[in-house]
Amino acid sequence: MLVVVGGSVGVLGGLVVVVTSVEDVPPSSSLPRRAESSPPAEHDVSRAAATSTPTSGARGRVTHWVKLARRRERHMRATRYAVGYPVAMARPEINRQLVLRRRPEGLLRDDDIELVEAPPPALAEGEALMRTVYLSMDATVRTWMSRAEGYLPPVELGEVVRCSGIGEIVESRCEAFEVGDIVYSMPGWQEYGICRDDLFTTRLERGTPLLPMMSVFGATGAAAYFGLLDIGQPKEGETVVVSAAAGATGSLAGQIAKIKGCRVVGIAGSDEKCAWVVDELGFDACINHRTEDLPTRLRETCPDRVDVYFDNVGGEVLDAVLGALNMHGRVVLCGAIAVYNERGKPPGPSNYLNLISRRGRMEGFITLDHWDRFPECFNQLRVWAEAGLLRWREHIVEGLEQAPRALNMLFTGENIGKVVVKVGPEPG
């Protein structure tokens, strides 16, 4: 799925500010134009779990038009193979991997993850070998390390940590992918991973800018778009509150709410983040929940109460906003980064009874449930970006071995915007 840039030098050894203003948005000719260029990618990197599928009907969302597109693509690729198209680059000898050694308690520790070296996996028919370029740091990666039930099974001990990313096909026994193709898939925390022609792998157009794919035109953008518009259903003039407002998803959700004519109030964890979402992204206000009294500031910044709350954190922040909910208010449950690292079950929000008295609604969602509407989503995000209505940042961390520390940044609040780990060079 996708996101952007920011932070301070020295956080994890390597940091590059890639996009700082709307002028840096790629021109329309280089932005993705089709959903098949940018769906999210989430599947297990190990063969043992490769046949696992998302639960609760997500697979059923792969509709007829997707199947037809895949069939047409395979026919075109088969024609190329018939005339001798290359099926491999020079095969690498070593594949560095980060495997799960222990179920984390709280933030990731050094002994939870082990860096190992192994030969790249041999390919079965229908598989391709992907050289990882970028890994997307998303809070869901942390949930896959626990035993908690989710829409994908947990990563088993000894397996490569599951994670989506973008990379280059270096060897192929799959008609859908040829050597040199760029794909968005689920390589995991390793230099070389296997991908297949399935729900979780998407070939990108040649020349597609890769970082915007991580930051906007993928899972992050889809979460902001479908969560806010389908679940939140904001109306012009309403008040929308967004937690983790300086994060990858929250920053986009707030900007979309502004596009829809809403008053937008962010909640973030530092004065620097609050300044960014107000001064650069156009939020009407932002509350530093670490230094300010949240219930008091919600009353001050949301005098007409909260119509839509886009929740990325859960915990005490969710409870405080529930206390400020308006009549017929809507709460969008996108994530809960405040509680993912809790030891044991966190307490429930005490203000949930407001949903009754205020006739409110609280609903979660998974972006894969909206697979058939990805063309609508990414085309609209592209239109807004080209019009200068969306801004974003990426926080890039250099080196595969830094992935655990990069993931922790989502929970310690060290990042602004999308956290991306750069594993290898972009294709030339």
Q: Which helix (H) or strand (E) holds 292?
A: none
Q: What is the pLDDT of residue 37?
A: 38
- In the chain, the amino acid numbered 249 is T
Q: What is the mean pLDDT of residues 13-20?
A: 28
Is pLDDT of 40 > 50?
no
Rounded CA-CA distance 311/338 in Å is 11
- Kindly report, residue by residue over 67-121, the tens digit of the pLDDT: 444 554 554 454 444 434 456 677 889 999 999 999 999 899 999 999 999 999 9
Torsions phi, psi of 123, nearest 5?
Answer: -95, 135
Is pLDDT of 268 > 90?
yes
Q: What is the pLDDT of residue 82?
A: 43
The pLDDT confidence band at residue 28, using thresholds 50, 70 and 90, is very low
- Kindly report, residue by residue over 226-254, the tens digit of the pLDDT: 999 999 999 999 999 999 999 999 999 99
How far is Cα of residue 47 from the mean position of the Cα atoms in its chain? 23
DSSP-derived secondary structure letter, 303:
T
Q: Which two tokens stand for residue 223?
A: 């979460």
Q: What is the mean pLDDT of residues 409-423?
A: 94
What percentage of the chain carries pLDDT values higher than 70? 79
Task: Record the pTM.
Answer: 0.78
Q: What is the pLDDT of residue 347?
A: 76
Query: What is the CA angle 202-370-417, rounded to 5?
Result: 70
411: nearest Cα among 253, 269, 241: 269
The DSSP annotation for 190-219 comes to BSEEEEESSTT-EEEPTT--HHHHHHTSSH
- In the chain, the amino acid numbered 213 is M
Q: What is the pLDDT of residue 324?
A: 97
**Tokens 């509350």 found at:** 287
Q: Which residues contact 320 (CB under 8 A, 6 or more apart)?
A: 294, 295, 298, 351
